[in-house]
Amino acid sequence: MTANAQVMFGLSPWPEEAALPAVWRDLDRALWRWVRTHGGDPLLAELAGWASHADGQGHSALPLMTPPAPYPQWDPQALAALQHSPLVTVPGVSDGGPPRPFVLDAGMFYLYRNYRAEVDVAQALRTRRMAAQPAQYPPSEADLRALFHGRWTPEEALQRAAVAQAPGRRLLVLTGGPGTGKTTTVLRMLLALSREYAARSGADLLPQVRLAAPTGKAAQRLGDALRQGVARLAQAQPPLPADWHHHLQALAQAESATVHRLLGSRARQGGFAHHAGARLPADIVVVDEASMLDLSLLRALLAALREDAVLVLVGDADQLTSVGTGSVLMDIVQALEDDPRDDLVRLQHCFRADATLVPILAAVRAGDPAAFQRALDQAGAVARWHPVDTTATLRRHLQAWAETLARTLTAAAIDTPVAATDAETLRQRLALLRQRQLLCAQRDGPFGAVQAAALIAARLRARAPGWGERWYPGRSVMITRNDPAARLYNGDVGLCLPVDIGGGEIRLRVLFDPAEQPVADAAPPRLFEPDLLPPHEDAFAITVHKSQGSEYGHVAVLLPPDVESPLLSRQTLYTGLSRAQHSLELWSSPPALARALHTVLHRHGRLAARIGGG
């Protein structure tokens, strides 16, 4: 191939490519080359590369007027000339014709797919908001008292409001921190929605309810929690009026799945079985941990829903945003707060018996260092801050953590074989995974989850001689690639233990929770041969991102000491600490903590404005 042909197809560097930003990825450079090859001028190619880089950081658009670091400042006159480029669309100016690869809109530069996703999501949400109708069967005060076990406390006022406001709406958003009763409220909202559906059907029909979350673990937790809630309501004292039991049955059989499975992901083929031309057969869809939704997945979900279906989004808007593009729950909550229509409820009261950690999380959300320190001091032994700023200090803490974990495993008799048919003991073993967890802000490097997990694993291997180097009782692993045939998915965590497989034959097996299914309580934990697992890694330490959707009795959060790390943010710290149910530790240098409390992650885009009609 000649040099000219190589340049034409973007396979060899342009002369000016050597000066491209060092932070760009190969993908960013490839898009820069594509623009130059297809007639774009140097400025457009530069903006395309930066827009690709921004997309890789989770932003849906590149801000042009007052770009923050690391973006350069661009000349306004040169930017104005972009609207005449055949590769750029300016809404309202250059509409019509086939889509162009880039969009210039309200001071933002978009890759076309992100622009289209933002517009489609905003339009679908606006349509759902406007489709709200007066309820045919609004919950009365007597209904609310019955659903809340006869109580009428001020602490539950927002929960009652969410239930009362649900019927008649096509979009409902419920947000709040840990322990604020989101799942409890969702159950009662679903009962009110089920009764409303029956009233509108005119035949007392029950709705088809689907439960979903971005990860399998979160979907399973939602399904289990709602089924347990249904069982408690069915046996509540004073008893729930008989006419509600009909609707409890519908919720007891509600299936839970990841959003991808709900939509019928075609995996490598791309796309979903359910879309605008083949709608999802569901009357009510609940999506938990909605902060983990990215822009494209929410777009696909909204396109697949029938217009008359009800969408309930549940999550903590203060948590980390998705790994993918956008900050959809945060943007939706902002838009609905700016234009209140009773389709958003933000729960605030923590109902946990031990509310010691609540002031700590409140201080993190507020970014208040003084309040954070006061809350730590008042928490006593329940919450500890350990200054960790060197690898030597970190190693000492990891050794102590591993020793505690080893004692926990020994006390649980992890080396004692369990019969493969002993479901109750297997469940008790699985509960060990939820007792304590080390969470790291970053994955790689000396302060990352991979190295931390390796150091802990080395100590635990030493306490289990005779079992081999890779597999031993007490090893916890996380699946890193989906295996639909085995029903194991990225993020699933399993525990290795000796199992009596029959006839006194002992083999190591890896124990996982029951797969997603309508009635998880009836299914025993699942056992797999270690060598047949899909790709996996040690799970003694995992990233904060991977921990979303899970809770642990005790949590330690490790922050990197590099104050320039983009992972030091209020959302990272809040998400990690809020995984703790009873107690926590923070491993961080003072400067890193200060930086995390000061820094608020903000993703560039206009979704909130578009939902509001802007």
Q: 237 or 387: whose pLDDT is higher?
A: 387
- What is the signed CA dihedral for 149, 152, 155, 161, rounded to 10 degrees? 90
Structure token digits, residue 277: 């031309």
Average pLDDT, the chain: 91
Structure token digits, residue 330: 């945060």
Confidence category of residue 378, pLDDT binned at 50, 70, 90: very high
Spell out the SS3 assignment of 350-399: CCCCCCCCHHHHHHHHHCCHHHHHHHHHHHHHHEEEECCCCHHHHHHHHH
Residue 19 has pLDDT above 90, yes or no: no
CA–CA dist 595, 576 (Å, integer): 16
Q: Which phi and psi angles does 543 have, rounded to 5°?
A: -75, 155
Please name which of 262, 181, 178 lies closest in space to residue 226, comparing C-alpha atoms. Answer: 181
Measured between its terminal Cα atoms, the distance across the chain in Å is 50
Residue 76 has pLDDT above 80, yes or no: yes
Yes or no: say if 165 and 144 are a contact pair by the CB < 8 Å rule: no
Averaged over 582-586, what is the pLDDT? 96
- The pLDDT tens digits for 36-51 are 999 999 999 999 999 9
Residue 141 has pLDDT above 90, yes or no: yes
Query: Could you give the percent of the chain with pLDDT greater than 70?
Result: 96
Confidence category of residue 520, pLDDT binned at 50, 70, 90: very low
List, in order of start, the domains of the chain with CATH numbers. 17-105 (no CATH), 120-131+139-352 (3.40.50.300), 356-598 (3.40.50.300)
Residue set of the binding site for ATP = 176-183
pLDDT at 3: 44
Q: Which residues are CB-contacts of 408 (< 8 A; sequence separation ≥ 6)?
A: 432, 435, 436
pLDDT at 522: 54
pLDDT at 250: 82
Q: Which phi and psi angles does 82 have, rounded to 5°?
A: -65, -25
Yes or no: say if 82 and 56 are a contact pair by the CB < 8 Å rule: no
Averaged over 478-490, what is the pLDDT? 86
Confidence category of residue 193, pLDDT binned at 50, 70, 90: very high
Confidence category of residue 127, pLDDT binned at 50, 70, 90: very high
Averaged over 434-447, what is the pLDDT? 96
Averaged over 443-463, what is the pLDDT? 94
pLDDT at 5: 45
CA–CA dist 202, 386 (Å, integer): 62
Confidence category of residue 585, pLDDT binned at 50, 70, 90: very high
pLDDT at 267: 73
E strand or H helix at 479, and its extent?
Answer: strand 476-479
Confidence category of residue 580, pLDDT binned at 50, 70, 90: very high
Q: Which phi-psi region, left, alpha or beta, contains residue 240 (left: φ > 0; alpha: ψ -120 to 50)?
A: beta
CA–CA dist 175, 274 (Å, integer): 27
